[in-house]
A and B are shown apart, each in its own frame.
Chain A
Amino acid sequence: MAVSMNADSGLGSILYRGLSRFPMWAFALLWLLPSLGLFLNSFRSRDAQRNSGFWTLSPNDLTLEHYETVLGASSVNSMGDSLLNSLAISIPATIIPIAIAAFAAYGFAWIDFKGRKWMFIGTVSLMAIPLQVALIPLLRMYVSGAHYTLPFLDKTLTLVPAWGVNGTATAVWLTHTGFAMPFAIFLLHNYISSLPKDIFESARIDGADHFTIFWRLVLPLSIPVLAAFAIFQFLWTWNDFLIALTMIGSANPDALPTTITIANLAGDFGRNEHLLPAGAFVQAFIPLVVFFALQRYFVRGLLAGSVKG
């Protein structure tokens, strides 16, 4: 048992130390390999990609052609429009839920009202509802509006008219906003409810109302958690496939976000397979930049959402 305590030199120990670090690096490099392969392949010519693996990289094969096709304005396979479409979805779908959830989190944390506890529990439990459950009726509402037939009278009220949002970015970000609520409230509530009670009490004594407290105290103090949620939500909406496919999918080919565009490239009987690495890298570029630049906030948000205390 004492072997490892004193024998710090010698071949055995070097081997041991090397091998005990080996798993971490083997694992990390294995996890990096697919992305690295994609990145290298995106610079290789069509023929090179089709006939040999990315590890046979040679300077003769390198080309920027695929990026020119994918980013070029004129080409059929251009992703320029869908990048803008993705932004038109992700930006409102990030900003609007933050505002609404911040109000609610403050309300649940610091305003006394009847049934507060149960309403909060109900809200949080909605987190686990799979969004598939809501898709069919939501799409119907976007296409033909929402109507309600008055019970016992044959009159139909139109609650939401058919306002033509089907197939637009608006339908997608509205849906994202609704689906994001439970998690956003949960995340922000964890943080806002842990702010020290004293500051609220002294503000109340000074005559501040809830609105002033929220605006002047809570919002500035909550910047870290707001940033965390913003990154989380931005990545989620940018990378979303299911909601966009349902709400825009075939209804409006001009409004497709990047995820659907690259999925379509992939599904095209392999004709455009050589463009895929570049396309996938362009699609992942913005989230990767956001992710690495703001990783600290993102990790903090993940932790606040999952680990209490």
Chain B
Amino acid sequence: MDKIVSTFISVILAVGVSTAIWVGANLIFNQSTRDFRRFSALAGGVVGLLFMTVIDGNRLVTGIGTRPDAFELASIHIFLFWPLVGAAIGAALGVVLSNIDDQRMRLIVGVVAGVGVGVLIGFILKSRYQLALRTNPLIMWPLIGAALGVGLSALRRRNLLKGAVTGLFFGWLYGTFGGGLQGVAQANLGETLLATVVAGALFGGRLGLTANPDVVGRADIDQKSRAWLFVGPACAFYTIMLILPAVQTFLLSLKDRDSVEWVGLENYQLVVQDPDNLDTSRFEGFFGSAILPWVLFFVVAGLLIAFLLGRETSQPLNFGGAPIIPLIAAGALLSFAVFTHLRGTIINNLWWVVGVTLLSTALGLFIAKMADGATGEAVAKSFVFMPMAISMVGASIIWRLIMYQARDISKDQTGVFNAAWVWLGEVSTSQPGQTIVGAIFVAAALALAYTAYRSVADSPALAGLYLTVAIVPLWVAYRSFTGGIGGYQFTEGGDLLARTSNFVQDGPYNNFWLMFILIWSSTGFAMVILSAAIKAVPEDFLEAARIDGATDGQIFWRITVPQITPTIAVVATTTMVNVMKVFDIVKVTTNGQFGTQVLANAMFQEAFTNFNRGLGAALAIVLFLGVLPVMVYNVYNQTKEV
């Protein structure tokens, strides 16, 4: 409890102090257009304060008393002395310079003040930080600095002299404090004073060279400072937390496991050559896959419907509406056939991307369309939407425990799927049950077929959907008459085979059952966005189509869908990026075992469990490269809009 309180206090303090600094900076820069003298006094004071605070805070200079280790109110003067002196000098210089307009006078004042500050700092610097200068860096770095300064100024068409002085200043600092030696016997006050005084003179001279800004210049200060004040903090955050670490990760991926030696692309080779990541050895099995006849069936069904629709509209084939659904089913099944015969982490990731993106977008569109304007729309939609609020960890636990749990077949099942599976097996292998189940499922198939017949006028797509769905009960009925379905099945020899299905562990389809957890949780997102897009289609368009005699299905496939295609693309790309990064589900359910490894989990294991930083970084970069095409697409869309 205490640590929570202290966390909150420190958060409140941090937020308060940052807000105060931000508001204060705004107030100071407000003065640049109102009262320039006040502005330069304030700005000079703040710069002086910050500079001396940094120097004094790092204990580089001798204070006016013994500084206690921790801050205490009684010795506050020791903490405040040098910062206040800095503030006073800065403010005084600001006032003086803003009152002098004569160019030569400004230069003299600037240099003199700079020399003064240099002497002061040289004297108060603790002896262990005194310098022994070395000739080479002392000559080289100021020259490099000046050259850089002149070059940059020439590029930006600015004053070359000012650029040269700025460059000299930084070069001098780098050559003296960077290139000189500290903490050695030869270090002495004289060379230290040389370093600080020249630096001070250069800085003061640079200030003196700048004329007091006119009205335009002041407005410019106001504008530019504001841009940085508003945009700067965010940029700083994402640069430190995102861009720099990403660059560093790339460099780490070229080093060995402890980031000592450069190893080139070895880590990437490991990623690609490891059969755990990419295994194509079983692909011949694809051609004998039991799924392929189903793919063929759905393709033929789609083409047949397209042909029948085409006869009505005198086209060779008409793919608007109904044929789409069997063809999507065929595509999904085909991807299943492919992915079940390729193995490995990278393949799993691709399978996730195809499976989850396709299904959650399609299901989201389906439920958005079904619910649109129906009674109970809000309730039904909130049921679908609710999983979004549940964490992936929670969702994984829910599905593993409530839906996928498997026990021995001799016991009562506690998971929904296996309970249904076993129940189906029991009834479909016993006599009256077999007939009853068969009859019920035949009836269900007939009802769906009838619904399809009735809805074909309104919406051929829905009719196609009903027909496609009707395959399922028909197949169940067929199986229940010919040897059973579900947990109990007769083998060809006539023996009764009884077992439950362990959805999480039995590969390769366990990948799909894990995917379904993510589909469960992301369909709501697709539904909300697509539903809003469907409602945003202008009523005029729909009205005009209705007057022209278009059916509901035609309106949906010919008007609504083209109108919301950009939104579908947004949903699909957003889902894709999220799926690519999937981690929680795999970590919690299988931790990558049973052939369910994905890139994010492999990366976590390598980097933080096996402590192989190089390989972990390489896996992270592979993940990034996978997201890159989507990212390029998104950026392209953004640039179009700006």
Taking the closest CB of chain A, its distance from the CB of B456, in whole angstroms, is: 9
Report B-chain residues with C-beta under 8 Å of the C-beta of A41.
401-402
Within 8 A of A (CB), among B363-383: 363, 366-367, 370-371, 374-376, 379-383
Q: Is A295 interfacial (CB 8 A cutoff)? A: yes
Whether the Cβ atoms of A32 and B386 lie closer than 8 Å is yes
- Which residues of B225-267 are within 8 A (CB) of A? 226-227, 229-231, 233-235, 237-238, 240-246, 248-249, 252
Please, what's the 1-or-0 string for A210-239, where 1 marks a CB less than 8 Å from any CB in chain B?
A: 110010000000000000000000010011
> Using an 8 Å CB-CB cutoff, how does the interface string of B439-460 with A read, 1 for contact, 0 for none?
0000000011011001101100
Contact present for A25 and B380 (CB under 8 Å): yes
A299 close to B (CB within 8 Å): yes
A28 touching B379 in the complex, CB below 8 Å, given contacts A214-B230, A242-B584? yes
User: Of B174, B179, B227, B617, which is in contact with the most chain A CB atoms at under 10 Å from its CB?
Assistant: B227
Query: Is the CB of A64 closer than 8 A to any CB of chain B?
Result: no
Residues of B within 8 A of A214 (CB): 230
- Which 3 A/B pairs are nearest by Cβ-Cβ distance? A178-B241, A107-B230, A239-B391
B390–A284 CB distance below 8 A: yes
Beyond the given pairs A112-B223, A132-B604, A307-B536, 11 more chain A to chain B contacts, judged by CB atoms under 8 angstroms and listed by A's residue number, are: A12-B454, A34-B416, A55-B416, A132-B600, A133-B245, A136-B616, A211-B226, A263-B588, A267-B588, A284-B389, A284-B391
Question: Is B161 positioned at the interface, with any CB of A under 8 Å from its CB?
Answer: no
Q: Are B391 and A134 in contact (CB under 8 A)?
A: no
Q: How far is the CB of B86 from chain A (nearest CB, A)?
A: 22
Verify A136–B249 contact, CB threshold 8 A: yes
Interface stretch among B47-55, B209-217, B624-632? B624-632
Name the contact of A125 in the complex, choosing from B30, B529, B631 (C-beta under 8 A).
B631
User: With A123-B238, A131-B581, A263-B393 given, is the CB distance from A20 to B388 under 8 Å?
Assistant: no
- Measured CB to CB, the closest approach of chain B to A74, in angstroms, equals 14
* Cα of A302 to Cα of B571 in the assembled complex, Å: 11
Nearest chain B CB to A40 CB, angstrom units: 9
Q: Which chain A positions have C-beta within 8 A of B457?
A: 1-4
Say yes or no for B356: interface residue by CB 8 A criterion: no
Select A128's contact among B380, B388, B634, beta carbons within 8 Å: B634
Residue of B nearest to A95 (CB): B15
CB closest residue in chain A, given B564: A307
Complex CA gap A170/B223 in Å reads 34
Q: Name the one of A33, A85, A280, A306 contacting B416, with C-beta atoms under 8 angstroms.
A: A33
B562 proximal to A (CB < 8 A) = no
A276 interface contact, C-beta 8 A: yes
Contact of A303 among B367, B386, B392, B528 (CB under 8 A): B528
The reply to whether A169 and B7 form a contact with Cβ atoms under 8 Å apart is yes
B409-429 residues at the A interface, CB under 8 angstroms? 411-416, 419
Which residues 265-308 of A sit at the B interface, judged by CB distance below 8 A? Answer: 266-267, 273, 276-277, 280, 283-284, 287-288, 290-292, 295, 299, 302-303, 306-308
List, in ascending order, chain B residues with CB within 8 A of A181's CB: 234, 237-238, 241-242
Interface residues of A in 93-146 (CB under 8 A from B): 95-96, 99-101, 103-104, 106-108, 111-113, 116-117, 119-121, 123-139, 141
Q: Chain A residues near B153 (CB, 8 Å)?
A: none
- By a CB distance below 8 angstroms, the chain A residues around B387 are 31, 34-35
One digit per residue, 1 when the CB lies within 8 angstroms of any chain A CB and 0 when it does not, for chain B 538-562 equals 0000000000000000000000000
Task: Knowing A107-B231, A276-B401 are in contact, say whether A136-B638 is a contact too (CB < 8 A).
Answer: no
When the two chains form their complex, are residues B224 and A137 in contact, meaning their CB atoms are under 8 A apart?
no
Cβ-based interface call for A202 (8 A): no
C-alpha spacing A107/B233, complex, angstroms:
11
Q: Which residues of A lie under 8 Å from residue B354 when comparing CB positions?
A: none
Residues of B within 8 A of A295 (CB): 382, 385
Q: Which of A23, A28, A174 has the most CB of B within 10 A?
A: A28
Q: How far is the CA of A2 from the CA of B414 in the complex (A)?
A: 49
Q: How large is the interface on B (under 10, 10 to 19, 20 to 34, 35 or more residues)?
A: 35 or more
Tell me if A111 and B226 are in contact (CB < 8 A). yes
B397 touches A280 (CB 8 A): yes
- Is B635 touching A125 in the complex (CB atoms < 8 A)? yes
Q: Give the distance to chain B from A102, nearest Cβ to Cβ, in Å.
A: 9
Report 17 cross-chain contacts, Cβ distance below 8 Å, ordered by A residue: A28-B381, A37-B398, A38-B402, A55-B416, A104-B234, A119-B231, A124-B634, A125-B634, A125-B635, A129-B624, A130-B577, A130-B581, A135-B607, A135-B620, A185-B234, A291-B386, A306-B570
Tell yes or no: B580 within 8 A of A by CB. yes
Check if B74 is an interface residue, CB within 8 A of chain A: no
The reply to whether A178 and B242 form a contact with Cβ atoms under 8 Å apart is yes
Question: Cβ of B604 and Cβ of A246 under 8 Å apart?
Answer: yes
Smallest Cβ-Cβ distance to B372: which chain A residue: A24
* Residue in B393, B419, B525, B570 with the greatest tally of chain A CB atoms within 10 Å: B393
Does A29 sit within 8 A of B, measured CB to CB?
A: yes
Query: Closest residue of chain B to A153, judged by CB?
Result: B178
B533 interface hit (Cβ, 8 Å): yes
Whole-angstrom distance from the CB of B459 to the nearest CB of chain A?
Answer: 9
Contact A242 B604 (CB under 8 A): yes
| B41 CB, nearest partner CB in chain A, Å | 19
Q: Which residues of B contact A277 (CB under 8 A)?
A: 401
Q: CB of A84 within 8 A of chain B? A: yes
Residue from the list B8, B385, B419, B454 in contact with A53, Cβ < 8 A: B419
Smallest CB-CB separation from A239: which chain B residue?
B391
Instruction: Decide yes or no whether B431 CB sits under 8 A from chain A.
Output: no
Decide if B229 touches A103 in the complex (CB within 8 Å): yes
CB atoms of A19 and B608 under 8 A apart? no
Contact of A303 with B532 in the complex, beta carbons under 8 Å? yes
Chain A minimum-CB-distance residue to B23: A211
- Whole-angstrom CA separation of A88 from B6 in the bound complex: 10
Contact between chains at A15 and B223 (CB < 8 Å): no
Cα A135 to Cα B222 with chains together (Å):
38
Q: Please tell me if the beta carbons of A276 and B397 are within 8 angstroms of each other in the complex.
A: yes
Known: A128-B577, A128-B630, A246-B608. A52 touches B398 (CB 8 A): no
The reply to whether A16 and B451 contact each other, CB–CB distance below 8 Å, is yes
Tell me the nearest residue of chain B to A181, going by C-beta: B238
Residue pair B230, A111 in contact (C-beta under 8 Å): yes
